[in-house]
Amino acid sequence: MRFGVIMFPGSNCDYDCWWAIKEVTGEEVDFIWHKEENITGFDCIVLPGGFSYGDYLRTGAIARFSPIMKKVKEFAERGGLVVGICNGFQILLEAGFLPGAMRKNKHLLFICKYIHLRVENPHTAFTNLCKKGQILRIPIAHFEGNYYATPDTLSTLQKKSQIIFRYCNKEGEITDEVNPNGSLDAIAGVCNERGNILGMMPHPERSCESILGSEDGKLIWKSIVTSLKRIKK
């Protein structure tokens, strides 16, 4: 399978994604400069974390107008898999690919630490190797990860099982104390209705090798590969 990792000016998790896909998962991967206007030949597009355009105006607000984003839209409309991690998630929200918006963390701190996530929906292209309720240990690193959606949007997300990950404790319980940033409904990751675009604040690319403290992130990359193989059959 061939992955494409988009590089925006200010992306800084691009090489981590490249490493996780190439060296850990063993799949093909190439970088795509954000001014590129051709993304044919890719099976999955990754919008990595970082500080695209210095987070000026709002996180992701300027990157969404990069020329590549038109192509990503077409790619997603054809059913291609798109993953936005951290700043990548923020860009997908600003671009309207996913519903909702990000606010500053409730305690106004940049939080960089391992947290626990509960898999709410294992029936997606991104989580098919997980079990429902499985607890993953994956780090977060952000200042604006406080997810918000209107009550109507939240209820749609709940009804249509679009909430993929929620923050929890190591037993899998969801409480205010373990919600690191104040996200509505402890949401850490959502997908679109069609199920081919995922946005998540935690960084699976930083947790694929035991030397880094967890290998749980591999489940995401391997789930993607599994579903791509099914699609290609």
Partner 1 sequence: MFKVKIYINLKEGVADPQGATIKHALDSIGYQKIGKVKTGKYLQLELDMHDKNKAREQIEDMCQKILVNPVIENYEYQIEEIK
Binding positions for partner 1, rule: CB under 8 A:
57-58, 61-62, 65, 93-94, 100-101, 103-108, 146, 148-150, 182
Q: Which is nearer to partner 1, 107 or 230 (CB)?
A: 107
153 three-class SS: helix
Instruction: Choose among 146, 143, 87: nearest CA to 112.
Output: 143
Alpha-helical runs (H) found in the chain: 14-19, 68-77, 87-94, 151-159, 218-232
Q: Where are the beta strands (DSSP E) in the chain?
A: 2-7, 28-33, 44-47, 81-85, 101-103, 111-119, 135-142, 146-148, 163-168, 187-191, 197-200
Question: Could you count the other beta carbons within 10 Å of the beta carbon of residue 213?
Answer: 13
Report the nearest approach of partner 1 to the CB of residue 58 (Å).
Answer: 6
Q: Which is nearer to partner 1, 46 or 68 (CB)?
A: 68
Q: How far apart are CA 116 and CA 124, in angstroms?
A: 19
Report the nearest approach of partner 1 to the CB of residue 100 (Å).
Answer: 7
- Annotation marks residue 13 as catalytic: no
Q: Which is nearer to partner 1, 73 or 104 (CB)?
A: 104
Q: Which of 34, 116, 142, 203 is catalytic?
A: 203
Report the nearest approach of partner 1 to the CB of residue 99 (Å).
Answer: 8
Q: Which of 17, 86, 130, 168 is catalytic?
A: 86
Q: Tokens 């606010």 correspond to what residue?
A: 103
Q: Which is nearer to partner 1, 146 or 227 (CB)?
A: 146
- Annotation marks residue 203 as catalytic: yes
Q: Which is nearer to partner 1, 104 or 137 (CB)?
A: 104
- The distance between the two most distant Cα atoms of the chain, rounded to a whole number of Å, is 48
Report the nearest approach of partner 1 to the CB of residue 75 (Å).
Answer: 22
Alpha-helical runs (H) found in 58-202: 68-77, 87-94, 151-159
- Annotation marks residue 116 as catalytic: no
Residues with catalytic function = 86, 203, 205
